[in-house]
Structure 1
């Protein structure tokens, strides 16, 4: 799968990625299979990290997925060659943050919603660690208005 960032200036606090669909993503009925949706979301989260951290000159933080919730709403059919994934931070805690991703077909219809809790970890010990100020700043830039307001109050 290849992912392309398609953010523009009109979507300040939302990260948008196009993920190329592969033949193997489809099941025998011609729908994107349920496991492929999870891989598509993962690919978009990797692009999100690249774009939000590395492109700004920061190291990509090590994180583990702690919880994944997937809501399948409609099928993606073979006429969609790229899924569009919108990613937004919905919560920032001390050691973890949550994202909400909408996976869309070529017509812009939401086909799947993925909510993911990721825990920042120390690479040497694999133990949770606090989210740094820099990481919090980067995550806040692509967070919901509610999270942005909360973070502004805590400064």
Structure 2
């Protein structure tokens, strides 16, 4: 998927949403998942709100998807929001100076998989598809953590 300037949106990038129906949806986000990522079967981008200084939001409503989805219970308001967002909402890839928290987020996701991999390897074997799937996901997150910080990533 491309932003308003034709730049491809990828996991780990900072993006800014403008023109959304609900003001809470506008702002800076970092892309946590994208179509084609290991372990992600969605056709949209998963976003988490972030400040201009690089601090990840801990607010109750800090998540968003692109294209924006409406989750209000009033179906007429939801339809109005969908139509508005389709016509007016825009996303643009941006850059911020401090990407340390974003890199730490992805590294923590990679580290969370170490214990399950160890357990599954012991329980069902090194060659089991579930072990391989978890290793691929762990390596994906570790690679993202390095790439976000601008480190050289070797395959």
TM-score of the pair, normalised by structure 2: 0.26
Structure with bigger helix share is: 2
Q: Which has the larger radius of gyration?
A: 2
